[in-house]
Amino acid sequence: MSAELHVVADGVWTIHHRDFSMGGMRLGTRSNLFRLADGTLALHAPGPLTPAQIAAIRGLGEVSVVLVPNLLHNGYCAAAARAFPAAKVIAAPGVAAKVSGMAVHEELGERAPGAFAGVAEMMRLEGCPKMGEYVFFLPGSRTLLGVDLAFNLHGLTGFDRFAMWMNNANDKFCVTNLGRSMYVADRAAAGGSVVRMTDAWDVEQIVVSHGELLKSDGRRVLREAWSFALE
């Protein structure tokens, strides 16, 4: 197993791009992988993959799907599609219009893509149209894969810590103040989605793009993070 790949659960991996910055804040991002029923891999929310990381992924097996699950993390998906040219690109509606030079072969809809049958379930986070996020659950390991669904930043220092203090988002799993004001257009709809997810899915672990893995009690923690939208 390459040092680049962190095992989240059996058949689930994450690559933490710790140095990734946005808006001057070093918040990191993640690329995630999960194994499909036919033994191939889905690459979820690809980030700035290095050649070594691409080689590590190839060491796991064939990537048959590049999955772009929201409208905010699409800066690196075209490069991922080029790195894995045999993969089918499955993306949230709207990604194709934002990313030039990349063919989208399938758009996410009401149900999880057929390629994920037996492995992953899916729901859309409603009420956040600028985010346009689709959330995936892997029942085999009770692992939920989100992107900007929540942040889980711990141990930040300096300006990053100050910025997240302004966001009420240090050292906890939460939706940032900025996230609430910029992306949650309809709290009731978004909160309803989170209720449906946590009713249907017995979530233990949660992977989000910005911050650490949440190792346990995911169902309760996710609902708590979105409690502002459940009132």
Applying CB under 5 A, which residues contact Fe ion? Answer: 148
If the CB atoms of residues 30 and 88 are measured against Fe ion, the closer one turns out to be 30
If the CB atoms of residues 36 and 71 are measured against Fe ion, the closer one turns out to be 71
145: alpha, beta or left? (left if phi > 0; alpha if psi -120 to 50): beta
Contact 150, 125 (CB under 8 A): no
If the CB atoms of residues 63 and 208 are measured against Fe ion, the closer one turns out to be 208
Nearest distance from C-beta of residue 62 to Fe ion, angstroms: 27
Picking from 59, 25, 37, the residue whose alpha carbon sits closest to that of residue 166 is 25
What the block records as the tokens of 30 is 């993640």
If the CB atoms of residues 18 and 51 are measured against Fe ion, the closer one turns out to be 18
Nearest distance from C-beta of residue 179 to Fe ion, angstroms: 9
Question: Which residue has the closest beta carbon to Fe ion?
Answer: 148
Picking from 211, 207, 221, 196, the residue whose alpha carbon sits closest to that of residue 14 is 207
If the CB atoms of residues 11 and 176 are measured against Fe ion, the closer one turns out to be 176
Phi, psi at 122, each rounded to 5°: -145, 145
N-terminal to C-terminal alpha carbon distance within the chain: 45
What the block records as the tokens of 150 is 């929540």
Nearest distance from C-beta of residue 75 to Fe ion, angstroms: 10
DSSP category for residue 94: T
Nearest distance from C-beta of residue 127 to Fe ion, angstroms: 17
Picking from 183, 202, 167, the residue whose alpha carbon sits closest to that of residue 130 is 183
Nearest distance from C-beta of residue 27 to Fe ion, angstroms: 8
